[in-house]
């Protein structure tokens, strides 16, 4: 099973600041990584697929990068609605797995 | 629009089974696989398994093998997830999500979630 490790667990930032979230895979997953955003009481929604492609309707301030074992989600300038929990997920091999999540909170 | 609507909340006793439904609309049901993901209170996301509505083939996580059964009824565009021998630590919100094969197989959209509470 591929383990995804997200860091940091919590990121405390102010609106307008840049957020950098990391996801590391226990073995190479090529570019088969997606990122999801989840707000309290809501289902997750996709942000990025295949490491760097934005999902439908996702604004340009969200950028995904990386391949192999190291991946990054960057939010260039945090908007109030971006404070949420972010998960990475791999589809390289069964079972599909999620990272433990990074909470982006208001400082 | 593409939508997944799940059945309502359930309260079950330990040892019982629960069946959660996921009704799809806005697309051809048999063209996309459906996944099941759960989230315990205050915890992260856990992938449980998936069903290919075209044929009914399934894959499931080792943690759930022997306890989870995924089925579908193509006549009503509905998928089902049956979890047996429930334990208190199965208390969670259960989501279905469509695998979008046009976008890197990412999960889009998700159902609204079904809270399953296991308690005596």
- Sequential pLDDT tens for chain A (107 residues): 999 999 999 999 999 999 999 999 999 999 999 999 999 999 999 999 999 999 999 999 999 999 999 999 999 999 999 999 999 999 999 999 999 999 999 99
Q: What's the rounded mean pLDDT across residues B82-104? A: 96
Residue A61 is predicted with a pLDDT of 97
Residue B66 has pLDDT above 90, yes or no: no
Residue A98 φ then ψ, to 5°: -115, 155
Chain B: residue whose CA lies nearest to A49:
B104
Does residue B115 register a pLDDT over 90? Answer: yes
The dihedral over CA atoms of A15, B42, B40, A73, expressed in degrees to the nearest 10, equals: 30
Q: A–B: how many Cβ contacts below 8 A? A: 67
How distant is the alpha carbon of residue A31 from its chain centre? 13
Given a contact cutoff of 8 angstroms between Cβ atoms, the answer to whether B96 and B78 are in contact is: no
Q: In chain A, what are the helix, strand and coil shares in percent, each to the nearest 5?
A: 5, 50, 50
Q: Is the peptide bond before B109 cis (omega within 30 degrees of 0)?
A: yes
Q: What is the pLDDT of residue B65?
A: 81
The CA-based dihedral angle spanning residues B60, A37, B33, B95, taken in that order and rounded to the nearest 10 degrees: 60
| Nearest CB to A44 within list B59, B100, B110 | B110
The H-assigned helical ranges of chain A are none
Cross-chain Cβ contact B105/A87 below 8 Å: no
Report H helices in chain B.
none
Largest CA distance in chain A: 38
State the Cα–Cα distance between residues B61 and A96, nearest whole angstrom. Answer: 8
Structural element, H or E, at residue B83: strand B78-83
- Quick check: A95 and B106 CB within 8 A? no
B120 in reach of chain A (CB within 8 A): no
CA distance B75 to chain A (A): 26
E strands present in A1-107:
4-7, 10-13, 19-25, 33-38, 45-49, 53-54, 62-67, 70-75, 85-90, 97-98, 102-106
- Tell whether B104 is within 8 A of chain A (Cβ): yes
Chain B contacts in chain A segment 40-99 (CB below 8 A)? 43-46, 49-50, 53, 55-56, 87, 89, 91, 94-99
| C-beta atoms of B110 and A45 within 8 A | yes
Which pLDDT does position B57 carry in this prediction? 96
Q: Read off the pLDDT of residues B17-55 as tens digits, 9 standing for 90 and up.
A: 999 999 999 999 999 999 999 999 999 999 999 999 999
Task: Give phi and psi for A27, each to the nearest 5.
Answer: -155, 165
How far away is chain A from the Cα of B17, in angstroms, using its nearest Cα?
A: 23
């Amino acid at each position: 099973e591929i383990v995804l490790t997200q860091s940091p667990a919590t990121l405390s930032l102010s609106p307008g600041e840049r957020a950098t979230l990391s996801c590391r895979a226990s073995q190479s997953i090529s570019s088969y990584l997606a990122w999801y955003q989840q707000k309290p009481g809501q289902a997750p929604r996709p942000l990025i697929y295949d490491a760097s492609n934005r999902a439908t309707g996702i604004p340009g301030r969200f950028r995904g990068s990386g391949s192999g074992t190291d991946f990054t989600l960057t939010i260039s300038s945090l908007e109030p609605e971006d404070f949420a929990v972010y998960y990475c997920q791999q589809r390289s091999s069964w079972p599909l797995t999620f990272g433990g999540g990074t909470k982006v909170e208001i400082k | 629009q593409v939508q997944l609507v799940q059945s309502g909340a359930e309260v079950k006793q330990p040892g019982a089974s629960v069946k959660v439904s996921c009704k799809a609309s806005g697309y051809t049901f048999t063209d996309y696989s459906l996944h099941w993901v759960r989230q315990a209170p205050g915890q992260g996301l856990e992938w449980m398994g998936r069903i290919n509505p075209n044929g009914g083939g399934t894959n499931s996580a080792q943690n759930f093998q022997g306890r989870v059964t995924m089925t579908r009824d193509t006549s009503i565009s509905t998928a089902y997830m049956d979890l047996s021998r429930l334990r208190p630590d199965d208390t969670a919100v259960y989501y279905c999500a469509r695998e979008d094969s046009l976008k890197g197989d990412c999960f889009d959209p998700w159902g609204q979630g079904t809270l399953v509470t296991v308690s005596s």
